[in-house]
Structure 1
Amino acid sequence: MTTETPEPVSFPRRHARTQRFTLGAPRAFTVAPDGSRVVFLRSSSGTDRANSLWLLDPSDGRERLAADPGVLLGGTAERLPPEELARRERSREGGAGIVGYATDAAVELAAFALSGRLFTAELRAGTARELRVPGPVVDPRPSPDGRLVAYVARGALRVTGADGTDGTDGTDSADGTGGENGGKASPGADGVPATTARTLAEPESDQVTYGLAEFIAAEEMGRSRGFWWSPDSDRLLVARVDDTPVRRWWISDPAQPERDPRHVPYPAAGTPNAEVRLFVYGLDGTRTEVVWDRARFPYLARVHWSAAGAPLLLVQARDQRGQLFLAVDPDTGTTRMVHADEDPIWLDLFPGVPCWSPSGQLVRITDEGGARVLAVGERPLTGGQLHVRAVLDVTSDDALVQASAGERAAAPEIGELHVYRVNELGVERLSEEPGVHSAVRSGGVTVLVSATLDRPGGRARVLRDGKPVATIRSYAEEPGFSPRVLLTQGGARQIPCAVLMPTDYPGDTSLPVLLDPYGGPHGARVLAAHNAHLTSQWFADQGFAVVVADGRGTPGRSPAWEKAIRDDVAAVALQDQVDALQALAADHPLDLGRVAIRGWSFGGYLAALAVLRRPDVFHAAVVGAPVTDLRLYDTHYQERYLGLPQEGPEIYRRNSLVDDAGLVDAAEPARPMMIIHGLADDNVVVAHSLRLSSALLAAGRPHEVLPLAGVTHMTPQETVAENLLRLQLDFLRRSLDLPAPEAP
């Protein structure tokens, strides 16, 4: 009797099953201020989506489970409220279990939500429990002193005691109306003690929420929160969002005709935004509005409240060319200007800033002298050698920043991101090996997270006073192969590029080319990191030379590089792809007679642009979730690059795909296109692809449309993600007239 060897699992399936080989890797680190604990999330294997909460003791490197979602939920499946689903879509969170948590100031208490229920973990004791409160619970956050937990439920901000009471004298009940339990916990039907909670801020209508970030704050500004505790734990800053002015769109699932469409507010370019106000709420129910010129500066971009100074706001003008840093008097709600910025093109937002230094100076990232620098007070501490990307930590001795090499650096560091220590004495690089690095630091302990080209996945090392003391285990699966990638530069503008050849390529023949870019704002893809190139290598191993180019508009090089796309996104981004391709062909065996391009989101837009405007260069395109009519994308993103459509209709016309003259120019060759779009996408709605398909059909242009029922912008479903790669490969082979692979 013979035993058959099981067929190895394909890369597309493993890539989908492991969520791009990220499951099982530690993430979301927090370090206790005394350096005694490192808190993080991690799932139990490379195919397990459910994250648990873990602790590591830097003194001995031992890890301990702090909260297991399977145990806490009793083995029942998760059921997420709509608000939590929306938060995860905005953050592109595809995991399950504990996907986020918050701690008190001492990092002794953690709070998190599971299935819309509130849980806390006492990190020293190693115990976790549920607090039965009115829900569904979204974004729970302990007070700095660990005595209370605030959270959002049905658009209302509520506060409950971390000890199972409401944290007051017992005059409020779980429904906020006052009750007979006297603030004490009583058992629920399933034995879990019921916990009282007080409602601090109650929405006045279905269009109003308290304590949640509005759509564009979460999607485009990098602000996912809507409330902030005071350092003294006695009051909170709370955002009030009124979506009444925002136009409503319908998101439906044609595959489920019995279901009602979702009615969602979507602030498309040139249309009204949500009205955002900010209030100081005392725990006694008092409310004071924070006052600033909201008519001129309507965007609440950042909020910071620490013991180093007054509450600090960053508010932006709608055109994003002016912004104010404001200090708030929490007693009166008045604000005073700390600093003002203006830029003739636009002003960017950055992680970790603004904040106060321990000495009370304003810390910010700003563009000065053609460079992106760290400034403390009015003094820049870095220059053109660094392009500062984020502030990771600020102490009385230094600031920890993440930065790439600036244009005036001694040598280019293609695709690298490093961690630097900056102070009055100078700049010191803490991450040594070439790669992509970030860090979390507190109490003399740093968690340095690193990815390199020669090592699968990432590595999280714990340093004390700069010396390694532990490595946090990763359970992520390894892909089983390494990309054959060359990081280089192409063209007169020295465009950062990655070139990938088949693993077994002998180098004696030219290869059909596949461009695999994102190519736009916020999305660098040329990275000195192993796993960043896995999908590109898989396509290369199917017989392609794969080229990834980060042209103008992508982050990490200089302010001028990023802002070169203003008013001309399409022409600039596309030209840099063409220039990179043609320059690389002089040194690599690229068959310029067979060139395809694939991309998703901005990359999908760029792929469609390529075959419509440059059919002399590009011969086929896979167009994933593209923005085609730029008037249909959101305000904060689209207006940053193109202004208001009412003021520049011609700018929007020449940058949009559906108005492209190439659609109806019969003299140009028609290049095949595969258009892919999730029908449940509430970010780039499917109307973009439907309008493009209608325009192509009217012009007699060949194309294919692949609608994905129930799929959003991030396509987390395993079978969908797997088969999308296979279908794209089949389309590319057909479109470029490539031979089918040999049968095994």
Structure 2
Amino acid sequence: MTSRQQLSFPRQYARTQRYTLGVPRAFTVSPDGSRVVFLRSPSGTDRANRLWVLDLDDGGRERVAADPAALLGGADEELPPEERARRERSREGAGGVVGYAVDGAVELAAFALSGRLFVAELRAGTARELRVPGPVIDPRPSPDGRYVAYVHGGALRVAGTGADGGDRPLVEPENAQVTYGSAEFVAAEEMGRSRGFWWAPESDRLLVARVDDRSVRRWWIADPAHPDRRPAEVAYPAAGTDNAEVSLCLLGLDGTRTDVEWDRGRYPYLARVHWSSGGAPLLLVQARDQRTALYLAVDTATGATRTVHMDEDPDWLELLGGVPAWTPDGRLVRIADEGGARVLVVGDRALTNGQLHVRGVLDVGEDDVLVSASAGEEALAAETGEIHVYRVGDRGVRRVSEGPGIHSAVRSGAVTVLASARPGEPGTAVRVLRDGEPVAEVASYAERPVLSPRLTLTESGPRRIPCAVLLPRGYREGDGPLPVLLDPYGGPHGQRVLAAHNPHLTSQWFAEQGFAVVVADGRGAPGRSPAWEKAVKGRLTLTLDDQVEALHGLADRFPLDLGRVAVRGWSFGGYLAAMAVLRRPDVFHAAVAGAPMSDLRLYDTHYMERYLGLPEEAPEVYAENSLITDDGLSAPENPARPLMLVHGLADDNVVAAHTLRLSSALLAAGRPHEVLPLTGVTHMTPQEQVAENLLLLQVDFLKRSLGLA
């Protein structure tokens, strides 16, 4: 590989936002099977997504349904603070139309641009603005397409889509600490629930979440580079502190209001809401310790709820996509941890077994359920890093996707949109199937990466830890051992060992700098079995043990120089990297820790209490798992290893206090380290120059620390 290519990858990677720009995404299939709606930017370096329609009845012709440049008259997009926060929670770095919602027939789409409300007529290919108060957040059409509901200033409002228009609030907040129709912080950040209101199938009323965050502790995030600016006020529910109070009400378009009742004291977390013609509104609510959950059906006349099902688990109950739901004939669809496996349950019957590890429901049809799943524990070795799409019904299980890769799908009726990322080719290929037969493809405009991974997917150690190993493309057998760089996330909800090309590009770039790069998904990582994921209950430090086991297990098969081992990571991976050099300096000789969780009491309730419980009930557990209370900091037998701490000062997820407290503890213990503050950067690093230079600075630090030329 040439020097030019080595230097150009960080710039290309940053400019293309990790090669995500130009990739088609967010697919919706119309019920009649004639249209597929999706988002895609015009090129691999253009951030502004357009709304597109693929006409299957017109030979698979693509056309633009909404162009942000035209709708805004060429003006730059201006995001209101509420939209910036929503995009941060969803890790959205693109611009233009980043999300949309459709009516029941998929003929009308609603979306926000610069805080303004727009609708697109998908058959006609026209788009127009609805003049309503702004900024507009999360607009969603009614199933019949006559109205659009949206959030503005903490109120839920409804606008007509017809010629007569009309706009009015359905409910307004009682005070500045109350909002209607929005997801609270932990729902959006940790539960995977980004919505706060749901239309009735009949379009005559809505279920609306009311959030009161008066009791949530306030934090202040300042910009030290601009001392003239006021700090941002953030309601952040840190572990052991009060959450926002969340309730639900039914609001009729005729002005009626009915409050929904359940035991919110015992089950304060509103995790999921489902409302379809298959049955009454369905809620999934969790206890604060997340060991008990209720599936509740709502009586829309009275607001009373009845328990449809209750789940219990001694560790925690995982929240998964697409469930709960009703089948068209009224049976409950859920995913459960039963018999040591994660299975799909419809009604009272489990339709899968330990052969599959079900990861989410993609669609509930008349005759079957479309699911995302990986191989169960027994077949895992043959399909390391793969995720497939399956049809599951009373007649059995059938795989829809083919070949190694990461596959996902969207379906309506006979039409399925299948997206496949494979290890041997860049990007994602999107095919449209009708009754299982290909009828169209959706083009990707993403740039082709300047490098390709030299990837080996394997398992390591007695626990058969899934691993990816990447060597320099010019490496030849007999060249001798290479310094090692572990590049993990290593924690819950963050699978990194994937049978796809693009997820390993950064690791390959580090390999080109002269490293053998190892990525390992130890206990706690998703995709294997419930027991594997839940082994970290109370013991997040097990993730470090598994990195060591994976490293040593690979040393006899790959050219790894165990005398020169570094580790890098971000977020949980940053926590793992810092812990590696502090607790196992006998194994790790340098680390780059980006946005590390250091004082675990500073992280949010829903995440941290799931794994470690309440701080006041288990202070010793928090102390054992936190970095700033690490006994190894002051242990004279533990040699100091080079450590670079990197943190965005505008991060409102893992706040910069984590790194500042860790730096203070290291200084007090006489431990040398470096701190790289990123001004104006949040938990993401979407800024092109920051993202590029961050990679270059990391490789320079690692080479210096390991004594490499």
**TM-score, scaled relative to structure 2:** 0.99
Hey, what's the Cα distance between the residues in 1 that align with 2:140 and 2:209?
15
Asked if 1:606 corresponds to 2:570, the answer is no
Listed as ranges, the matches of 1:175-186 within 5 Å are none
Alignment correspondent of 1:171: none
Q: What's the counterpart of residue 18 of structure 2?
A: 20
Name the structure 1 match of 2:694. 724
Corresponding position of 1:538: 509
Whether the 8 Å CA contact 1:385–1:410 is kept in 2: the answer is: no
Alpha-carbon distance between aligned partners in 1 of 2:4 and 2:290, rounded to the nearest angstrom: 57
Distance 1:355 1:212 in 2: 21
1:409 Cα deviation from its structure 2 partner = 3.1
Q: Secondary structure at the match of 1:528?
A: coil
Task: State the alpha-carbon separation in 1 of the partners of residues 99 and 193 from structure 2.
Answer: 15
Contact 1:58 1:462 in 2 (8 A): no
Instruction: Select the residue among 416, 422, 445 that pairs with 2:386.
Output: 416
Question: For the Cα contact (< 8 Å) 1:387–1:406, is it kept in 2?
Answer: yes
Does the 8 Å contact 1:384/1:409 carry over to 2? no
- For the structure 1 residues 537 and 411, does the alpha-carbon distance in structure 2 shift closer, same or farther, using more than 3 Å as the test? closer
CA-CA distance at 1:354 after TM superposition:
0.2
SS in 2 for 1:665: coil
Cα root mean square deviation, aligned = 1.1
| Alignment CA distance shift 1:227-1:410 (3 Å) | closer
**AA partner of residue 543 (structure 1):** G
- 2:44 corresponds, among 43, 46, 50, to 46
1:228–1:94 distance in 2 versus 1, CA, 3 Å = same
**% identical equivalent positions:** 73
Give the distance between the partners of 1:99 and 1:732, measured in 2 at CA. Answer: 36
Counterpart for residue 437 of structure 1: 407
For 2:416 and 2:495, locate their aligned partners in 1 and report how far apart those are by CA, in whole Å.
Answer: 26
Aligned partners of 1:361 and 1:8: how far apart in 2?
55
Residue 420 of structure 2 aligns with which residue? 450
Does the Cα contact within 8 Å between 1:300 and 1:316 map onto a contact in 2?
yes
- Residues 365 and 413, structure 2, Cα contact 8 Å, conserved in 1: no
Amino acid in the other structure paired with 1:300 = L
Residues in 1 aligned to 2:448 and 2:222: alpha-carbon distance in whole angstroms: 38
Counterpart for residue 125 of structure 2:
126
Alpha-carbon spacing, 1:410–1:424, altered in 2? closer, same or farther (3 Å): farther
Aligned amino acid, residue 107 of structure 1:
V
Cross-structure match for 1:277 = 247
Residue 697 (structure 1) aligned to one of 652, 660, 667: 667
Q: Distance in 2 between matches of 1:26 and 1:155?
A: 32
Aligned to 1:170: none
In the TM superposition, residue 27 of structure 1 has moved relative to its aligned partner by 0.3
Distance, in Å, in 1 between the alignment partners of 2:207 and 2:697 is: 49
Match in the other structure for 1:575: 545
Report how far residue 481 of structure 1 moved. Answer: 2.2
Q: Which residue of the partner structure matches residue 623 of structure 1? A: 593
CA shift, 1:507, in A, is: 2.3
Q: Deviations over 1:16-36 (max 9, x none)?
A: 000011100100000000100
1:484 and 1:258 map into 2 onto residues whose CA distance is 49
Secondary structure (helix, strand or coil) at the match of 2:135 reads coil
Equivalent residues of 2:596, 2:658 under 8 A apart: yes
The alignment partner of 1:569 has SS state of coil
- Paired residue for 1:215, among 153, 161, 185? 185
Give 1:564's aligned amino acid: A
Q: Residues of 2 paired with 1:548 and 1:163: CA distance? A: 54
Residues in 2 aligned to 1:686 and 1:165: alpha-carbon distance in whole angstroms: 50
> In 1, Cα distance between the equivalents of 2:78 and 2:335?
40
Q: Deviations over 1:522-580 (max 9, x none)?
A: 0000000000100000000000000000000000000000000000111x100000000
Match of 1:228 among 177, 198, 207: 198
Tell me the residue number matched to 2:611: 641
Q: Using the alignment, how far apart are the partners of 2:693 and 2:164 within structure 1?
A: 50
Asked if structure 2 preserves the Cα contact closer than 8 Å seen for 1:131 and 1:164, the reply is: no
Q: Does 1:11 align with 2:9?
A: yes
Q: 1:284: how far off?
A: 1.4
Q: Secondary structure at the match of 2:426?
A: strand
- CA distance in 1 between partners of 2:343 and 2:481 (Å): 44
Picking from 221, 237, 243, the partner of 1:267 is 237
Distance 2:706 2:80 in 1: 45
**1:244 and 2:243 matched:** no
**1:15 partner SS:** helix
The letter for the 2-side match of 1:45 is S
SS in 2 for 1:653: helix
- The one-letter amino acid paired with 2:272 is R
Looking at structure 2, the residues matched to 385 and 673 of structure 1 have their Cα atoms a distance apart, in angstroms, of 42
Asked whether the 8 Å contact 2:48–2:96 carries over to 1, the reply is yes
1:656 to 604, 615, 626: 626
Q: How does 1:103-502 map to 2 (within 5 A)?
A: 103-166=102-165, 196-409=166-379, 412-502=382-472
Equivalenced residue count is 705
* Distance in structure 1 (CA, Å) of the matches to 2:499 and 2:552: 23
Moved more, 196-205 or 548-557: 196-205
Counterpart-to-counterpart distance in 1, 2:380 and 2:668: 53
Tell me, in whole angstroms, the C-alpha distance in 1 between the residues paired with 2:380 and 2:673: 47
Structure 1, gaps ≥5 residues long = 167-195, 740-744
Q: Distance in 2 between matches of 1:289 and 1:307?
A: 21
CA distance in 1 between partners of 2:699 and 2:136 (Å):
43
Q: 1:396 offset after TM fit, Å?
A: 1.5
1:6 Cα offset (Å): 9.8
CA shift at 1:595, angstroms? 0.1
Match of 1:173 in 2: none
Counterpart of 2:595, as a letter, is: A
Per-residue deviation at 1:411? 5.4
- Is 2:54 the counterpart of 1:84? no
Which whole-Å CA distance do the structure 1 matches of 2:288 and 2:13 have between them? 40
SS at match of 1:389: strand
- Distance, in Å, in 2 between the alignment partners of 1:238 and 1:109 is 22
Corresponding residue of 1:34:
32
Corresponding residue SS for 1:463: strand
**Equivalents in 2 of 1:449, 1:611: separation in Å?**
39
Contact in 1 for aligned 2:5/2:450 (Cα 8 Å): no
Deviation at 1:8, TM superposition (A): 9.1
**Matched residue, 1:565:** 536
Per-residue CA distance 1:19-72 (angstroms, 9 max, x = gap): 011100100000000100000000000000000000001231110100000000
Contact 2:6 2:509 in 1 (8 A): no
So what's the TM-score if we normalise by structure 1? 0.94
Contact persistence 2:6–2:512 (CA under 8 A): no
SS at match of 1:690: helix
1:404 and 1:6 map into 2 onto residues whose CA distance is 39
Q: Deviations over 1:191-228 (max 9, x none)?
A: xxxxx311011011111100000000000000000000
Other structure's SS at 2:601 match: helix
SS of the aligned residue for 2:551 comes to helix
Deviations 1:220-242 (A, max 9, x none): 00000000000000000000000
- Distance across 2 between alignment mates of 1:549 and 1:453: 17
